[in-house]
Structures are given as structure tokens and as C-alpha cells.
Structure 1
Amino acid sequence: MTTLYNHRRTTDLYPTRGTSEAMMPRHDPVVWSPPGTPGPLGRAGLLDFERAGFTTVDALLSSDEVALYRAELDRLVRDPAIRADERAVVEPTSRDIRSVFEVHRISDVFASLVRDERVVGAARQLLGSDVYVHQSRINVKPGFGASGFYWHSDFETWHAEDGLPRMRAASVSIALTDNHATNGSLMIIPGSHQTFLSCAGATPQDNYKTSLRMQEAGTPSNEAITALAEPNGIRLITGRSGSATWFDCNCMHGSGDNITPYPRSNVFLVFNSVENRAEEPFAAPARRPAFVGARDFTPVR
């Protein structure tokens, strides 16, 4: 049975998009399950996630599975109907497809990946409850000029614009091509998940229409990034196709442009606790569309 959006409202623990930037401590757990809870992520993985805000899995998918998901990604990107769909986001300059959202609804192949126990089981293990998909997408970074994603905390956006009340969501980025140090791979600031960065500036109307191409609202200052990176530096996440990175919703992360000949394509899945369902936006004039921030809270089975 589908669980639909309701109009409840909780106290805003993480005010943002005001007149000035500010840092505040996290009020929520990082790993919500009790210690020793069984699941796909072992003890070392859970400890890494708790401490650094992320953990990597060297070989989540086999080479045959990578080939299956990569072929499906290529099919979606080539499909004229997908390009014409509002769920497809194109590069500002080249007009190549940058992302396709809600892929678990568009594609049965990616829907099966969401239900894979290696994936959804790890999400339940981290979040301590049943989970639903808050967002899914494929990110395509073809060579020779695909643009990056500037530093940001996903939670800041999901709280401000989608109404997620607490830090009880986790993302997994699964590599469908090799992620090199040179082709625009993910960068994370270890430990940044413990600090909420309240960003300055109001959210424009229909901000998602531009932010999915180039984010401006909800981005930190240079001084804030420097302060967050000072204790532990910046970690560049590389790995072979089939590897995966789980990271906390409040990790400060970003990626650079890809000016190499080597594409970088990943599938990106966001799981949110069913006990942390989206409400009204905390700092935006209206909710974003459901393909960006889900309003169907049906648990993944």
C-alpha cells in the first residue's frame, strides 16, 4: 500500500538559508542501529561510517552485474523519450545528459538494484528502520568537459527544499565505470558529517530547475570549506567499476570536472528512514517535484 505525503511539522533542528552562514553541531546519531546489528556492512564498515561519515565497498557488484547496469544506463541516455522527460538533466554547454532521476521507477533493471539486499539491507543497517527511496539517479560524466558538482551537504538541500526533518538518510554511489583520480571522482571531507553548515541566502522559486545543473543556493563559503577540511583533509574516492561508497546525508562532498577521455558514470541511490518522512520544506517556498524528493514513503521490499 502506498503511503502518501501528510502535512505534519516538527521543530526545525537545523535552520538554514537565513541572512548569514553558521556552523552548528549535529543533533542526530550517525549509525541508528544498535551496535552489532547484522547486515551487509561489517563492523569495520560501520565504524568507518560513524567516524568519517562514509565507507567504501571494493566489489559490491560483479563484472557481469556491472555490464548489465552499464548497458541499461547507456540505453536510458540514448532514449529520445528520456531526454525529453523532465527527469533528465543536461549539461549547460554540451547539452549531453548529466543525470537521469527516478531511475528506479523508469527502469525495472535499476528497480531490482534498489531491492538487492546488499543495497537496501545496508541502508536498513545504517538507519535502524525500514527505508524508502528518497531519490535515485544515474550520474553521467562523459569525457572532455563534463562539469562537476560544487561542495555541498545533501541534507542541507533535502532539509531546506524537501522537508527531511532529521539526519536519518544515507546515500550509496555505485561505480559503473572505473573512478580514477583524474576523471571527476567524488571528494568527501571526512568528519564533516558531524557539523551542520547553515547556509546564507534565500531559496529561489523553482530552484531545482537550475540547481540540478549548477548549484548556487545552499552552497558553502570558501572559508567554511577550509574550516571543515582543516582537521582531516579531503578524501578522493576512487575505485574500479562495481565498487561502492556509502555516505551520510550530511557529508560535505563534491566532484570536479571531467576533462579526460575516460567517462565516469555512477548510479546514486538515497535511502531515508520511514520514521523520517519528508514534511513541508523548512526553507523553500514550495516542495520540489517528487522525482527529485519522493513523497511516496512505501518501504522497499
Structure 2
Amino acid sequence: MSTTVRPDLYPTRVTDEAVPQPRVDPTVWGQGPGPLSQEQLAAYDSSGYLVLDNLLTPEEVETYRAELQRLGQDPVLRAGERVVMEPDSDRVRSVFEVEKVSEVFAKLLFSSRLTDIARQVLDSEVYIHQSRVNYKPGFGGAEFDWHSDFETWHAEDGMPRPRAFSVSIALSENHPFNGPLLVMPGTHKTFIPSVGQTPPDFHKESLRVHRITVGSPGQEHLTRMAEQHGIEQITGPAGSAVMFDSNLLHGSNGNITPFPRSNIFIVYNSVENTLEEPFAAPKPRPQHLGNREFRR
């Protein structure tokens, strides 16, 4: 009796040495017309990220800031699974699945100015794999350790291939000193496995702790990647945005300044890349972390 072995193009959460491998999938899946120019597509393909200036108007920024505050103060939300708190305080770190709890944010996330970019880059219809608002408050917003989102989405959500990308829209100014996004440009072309088995309900720890062991590349790999590719800060005014590939290594420092760094974060996935069973976890993460409601 034969059994079918599911192909895994990006094995991770290994028990021995983590051996980096070249990415076997494209970054830009199509070259058709759309909001991004060919120069922008080429820059995104090369570095793994692209800054979008003035995505929101000042009036829109104020509207979304007000909605951000409303969600963070909602006692019903704070008592539920969608809200993650800062590791050392009772302040809100993130609110997930915002398109289901906010009509204001839902209109933006499903708007053509974002989804048309996603369709162009991923060369298919798209859906929202994950969304959240991040608060990164002043005087204590914790860091996010270096990681590739795709490694987690592949291992714990069952995303087959890196045919997805994130958009982070600034609702406050990203200064060099208040914990802006850090990226290693070009690292999206290399997949670095993580070492160690995924603990049960690991998301309850990994979304809140300062540093993670499972799901983050080893320091030797991070050192080599940083030496080879360098590290860049993504700074800019409120209303600007950055889109970055699902496999790009990124993180951020903590925020010890008085100035918060809040943002809207959306992940667009191809409808041809919907979630399967996790590739390296006992069970899928909850719905608000990985959208399993959409099916081809």
C-alpha cells in the first residue's frame, strides 16, 4: 500500500543543522500592467521591498488614527484572542483581523489602491491572509526579533509557497529612533530554515516575547546575511507605506522614546496559494492569525 508524500519546497523546523537554500519561486509573479511601474517592480524584485510615498492623505491618517485608538480601548476586543499585549505591560501591542472588527479599516484593506498592486505583483486574484494594527507605544514598545514571515506561515499556517507580501502603512512618523522596520535587502532570495520543533500553541508565546528561538534564523545565519546584504531602516512620515516580500528578513528595535510608531499591517496572498495543513506544527494557528476561510 503506497502513501502520498506531500511535497515541501521549503522544509523548516529541522532537528539538526539549518541549511539555507535558494528560493525556487519568483518574487514578482507577473509583468502585466498595474499601478507599479516596471522600474518599481524591478526594484521590488531585487531588494524585496518597495516604499510607497503618500499612500494616505493627511485627512485619512487622522481618520485611521482615531480608529486605531478606538480599537485599542475596546474592552470586548481586549478580552479576546485578537488582541496581543506588550510583554512587560498591559498596553496593547497588536489587534488582529481588523477587517472583521472595523468597517473603517475594511474599506482600506479591500480598496483597489492596495488590491490592484497585489494582483499585479502576485499575478492572480488575492485575499487577505492576515491583518493587524500595531501600536508600538512610546516608553516600552518591545522589539520584534529577526524573522521571515513566510517561515512562520509555511510551518504553522500551511502556506505552500512565498506567493504573498505584506504592506505596512505608517499612522505615525517612523523616526530612526522609535523602532522603525529594519530589513536586510535581498535576503528574500534565500530561505533559511529554523531549528527546533514547534511547541503546542506556540503563537501565544511568539507574538508577545522579546526574542524567539523557534522560527528565527540562527545568529550565524543572521550575521552572514547582514554582512552580505546590509541592514536598512524604513523611515518616513505618517501616510507612507512599505510593501515587502513574505520571505524578507526583517525586525525592529524596541521603542524607548516618547513617540509611538503605529501602523496598519496587511498580508495579501494569492488565491492559488491558499493554506494547507501546517508543514511543521501540530495544528494550524487560529483563524485570526491565518485566514483559512478563503478557499479556491
TM range (shorter): over 0.9
CA distance in 2, matches of 1:9, 1:245: 38
The letter of the residue matching 1:24 is Q
TM superposition shift of 1:9: 8.1
Q: What SS class does the counterpart of residue 198 from structure 1 fall into?
A: coil
CA distance in 2, matches of 1:45, 1:90: 36
Task: Tell me the residue number matched to 2:158.
Answer: 163
Task: Tell me the residue number matched to 1:114.
Answer: 109
TM-score, length-normalised on structure 1?
0.94
CA distance in 1, matches of 2:112, 2:30: 17
Does 2:13 correspond to 1:17?
yes
TM superposition shift of 1:286: 0.4
CA distances 1:140-193 after superposition (whole Å, capped 9, x unpaired) = 111001101000000000000000001100100000000010000000100000
Q: What does 1:119-158 align with in structure 2 at a 5 Å threshold?
A: 119-158=114-153
CA distance in 1, matches of 2:160, 2:267: 15
CA distance in 2, matches of 1:136, 1:298: 18
TM superposition shift of 1:271: 0.5
Task: Tell me the residue number matched to 2:225.
Answer: 228
Equivalent residue pairs, number = 290
TM superposition shift of 1:232: 2.4
Q: What does 1:7-156 align with in structure 2 at a 5 Å threshold?
A: 10-19=6-15, 20-34=17-31, 37-156=32-151
TM superposition shift of 1:81: 1.0
CA distance in 2, matches of 1:227, 1:136: 31
CA distance in 1, matches of 2:188, 2:168: 17
CA distance in 1, matches of 2:184, 2:5: 31
Which of 268, 271, 283 is equivalent to 1:274? 271
CA distance in 1, matches of 2:37, 2:287: 33
CA RMSD of aligned residues (A): 1.3
CA distance in 1, matches of 2:119, 2:33: 10
TM superposition shift of 1:298: 6.2
Task: Tell me the residue number matched to 1:239.
Answer: 236
CA distances 1:34-72 after superposition (whole Å, capped 9, x unpaired) = 2xx222222222111100000001110000111111110
Contact 1:170 1:270 (8 Å CA) reproduced:
yes
CA distance in 1, matches of 2:175, 2:33: 32
Equivalent pairs: percent with the same residue?
Answer: 55
Stretches of 4+ aligned residues off by more than 6 angstroms: none
CA distance in 2, matches of 1:281, 1:203: 11
Does 2:282 correspond to 1:285?
yes
CA distances 1:93-149 after superposition (whole Å, capped 9, x unpaired) = 111000000001111011001111111111111100000100000011110011010
Q: What does 1:190-269 align with in structure 2 at a 5 Å threshold?
A: 190-214=185-209, 215-269=212-266
Contact 1:10 1:165 (8 Å CA) reproduced:
no
Contact 2:174 2:237 (8 Å CA) reproduced:
yes
CA distance in 2, matches of 1:239, 1:144: 20
Contact 1:9 1:280 (8 Å CA) reproduced:
no
Task: Tell me the residue number matched to 1:184.
Answer: 179
Task: Tell me the residue number matched to 1:4.
Answer: none
TM-score, length-normalised on structure 2?
0.95
CA distance in 1, matches of 2:152, 2:215: 6
**5+ unaligned residues in a row in structure 1: which ranges?**
1-7
**5+ unaligned residues in a row in structure 2: which ranges?**
none
The letter of the residue matching 1:14 is Y
Q: What SS class does the counterpart of residue 204 from structure 1 fall into?
A: coil
CA distance in 1, matches of 2:112, 2:290: 23
